[in-house]
């Protein structure tokens, strides 16, 4: 059984989360600079059995795509070309960054740790993955 990998794609950093092999829990994995993401994914997917990749779909409150879709769409096309055997699924990512910041605050982390944007990206990817897991039977 393969894992599910979630991606919170940003202009500077990419937050990653992954399920356990039984696809029960979502766990933060890493934060990677955008320019290193494909090298990272090639190494990771080369050693881990991943069956699906879930990518955060940026939407505004109105339901329209946000401006960051112009960066995410080419990234997803690159994913599909590089890993044609992996199913790529979009998941609505509205509010994930604010939920991630709130979760980090509630965890009682120090102010310096709460301001760590890489941590926020990993937690946001985890929330995207949890959203996907909750929406599938």
Q: How many CB atoms lie within 10 A of CB 27?
A: 15
What are the beta bridge partners of residue 57? 92
**Per-position DSSP letters for 122-137, written without gaps between them:** HHHHHHHHHHHHHH--
pLDDT at 18: 98
Q: How many CB atoms lie within 10 A of CB 17?
A: 26
pLDDT at 5: 98
**Per-position DSSP letters for 59-108, written without gaps between them:** B-TTSPBPTTHHHHHHHHHHHHHH-TTSEEEEEE-TTHHHHHHHHHHHTT
What are the beta bridge partners of residue 28? 17
Question: pLDDT tens string for the chain (137 positions)?
Answer: 799 999 999 899 999 999 999 999 999 999 999 999 999 999 999 999 999 999 998 876 666 766 778 899 999 999 999 999 999 999 987 655 555 556 555 555 566 654 556 667 787 899 899 889 988 87
Distance CA 41, CA 98 (A): 26
DSSP state for residue 42 in the 8-state scheme:
H
* Fold classification of 3-135 (topology level): Nucleotidyltransferase; domain 5 (3.30.420)
Query: Strand order in 13-19's β-sheet?
Result: 26-33, 13-19, 3-9, 50-57, 87-92
Q: Any idea where the domains of the chain sit in the sequence?
A: 3-135
């Amino acid at each position: 059984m393969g894992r599910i990998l979630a991606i919170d794609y940003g202009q500077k950093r990419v937050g990653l989360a992954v399920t356990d092999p039984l696809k029960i829990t979502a766990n933060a994995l890493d934060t990677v600079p955008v320019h290193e993401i494909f090298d990272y994914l090639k190494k990771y997917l080369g050693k881990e059995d991943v069956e699906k990749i879930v990518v955060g779909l940026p939407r505004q409150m109105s339901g329209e795509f946000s401006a960051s879709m112009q960066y995410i769409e080419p990234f997803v096309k690159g994913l599909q070309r590089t890993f044609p055997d992996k199913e790529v699924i979009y998941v609505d990512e509205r509010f994930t960054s604010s939920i991630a910041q709130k979760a980090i605050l509630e965890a009682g982390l120090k102010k310096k740790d709460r301001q760590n944007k890489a941590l926020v990206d990993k937690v946001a990817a985890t929330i995207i993955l949890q959203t996907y897991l909750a929406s599938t039977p």
